[in-house]
């Protein structure tokens, strides 16, 4: 994607997915329904994304998405290319998710060596658990994106 070293690198895959849906004209309620998340979660993704990008109007988010190639304006690649891109995204996010699970598991296994009152044990566990949850969310979003693509292409 044509956004190397830009603010979009700070966005999670889920936030990018929300950005694409906003740019395609969906309301926050429709985004929540589409992604099978609560309205509040969808609104939170939107708020965080707007803060990260320092963009505070939906029209400006849409312009940003178009400018940076997140919105398909038609004719930009074949369905086969899109499917290959989605499969690659799934492989990448699955690898990240597996690594996060391993890191969290290894930490929990070694945690007793830190001692029960060591604040690094609590902080480290929380940080690794949050990383594992974020990786799971991104992997799940990639799977949903592929499912939606395949359902659209099958029609």
**Does pTM surpass 0.75?**
no
Average pLDDT estimate for 112-128: 74
Torsion-angle region of 5 (φ positive above 0: left; ψ -120 to 50: alpha; else: beta): left
Average pLDDT estimate for 57-80: 74
Backbone angles phi, psi at 15, to 5 degrees: -65, -40
94-108, 111-125, 131-145, range with the lowest pLDDT: 111-125
Q: What is the pLDDT of residue 40?
A: 94
Chosen CATH of 7-67 out of 3.20.20.30, 1.20.1300.10, 3.30.70.1340, 1.10.10.10 = 1.10.10.10
**For the chain, what is the mean pLDDT?**
80
Position 99 pLDDT exceeds 90 = yes
* Domain boundaries defined on the chain: 7-67, 79-154
């Amino acid at each position: 994607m044509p956004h190397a070293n830009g603010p979009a690198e700070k966005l999670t895959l889920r936030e990018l997915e929300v950005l694409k849906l906003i740019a395609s004209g969906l309301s926050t309620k429709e985004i929540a329904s589409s992604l099978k998340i609560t309205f509040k979660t969808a609104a939170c993704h939107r708020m965080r994304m707007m803060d990260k990008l320092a963009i505070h109007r939906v029209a400006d988010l849409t312009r940003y998405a178009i400018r940076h190639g997140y919105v398909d304006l038609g004719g930009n690649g074949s369905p086969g290319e899109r499917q290959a891109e989605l499969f690659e995204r799934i492989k990448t996010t699955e690898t990240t998710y597996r690594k996060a699970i391993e890191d969290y598991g290894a930490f929990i296994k070694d945690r007793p060596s830190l001692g029960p009152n060591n604040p690094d044990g609590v902080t480290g566990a929380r940080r690794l658990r949050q990383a594992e949850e974020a990786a799971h969310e991104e992997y799940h979003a990639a799977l949903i994106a592929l499912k939606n693509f395949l359902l659209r292409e099958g029609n």
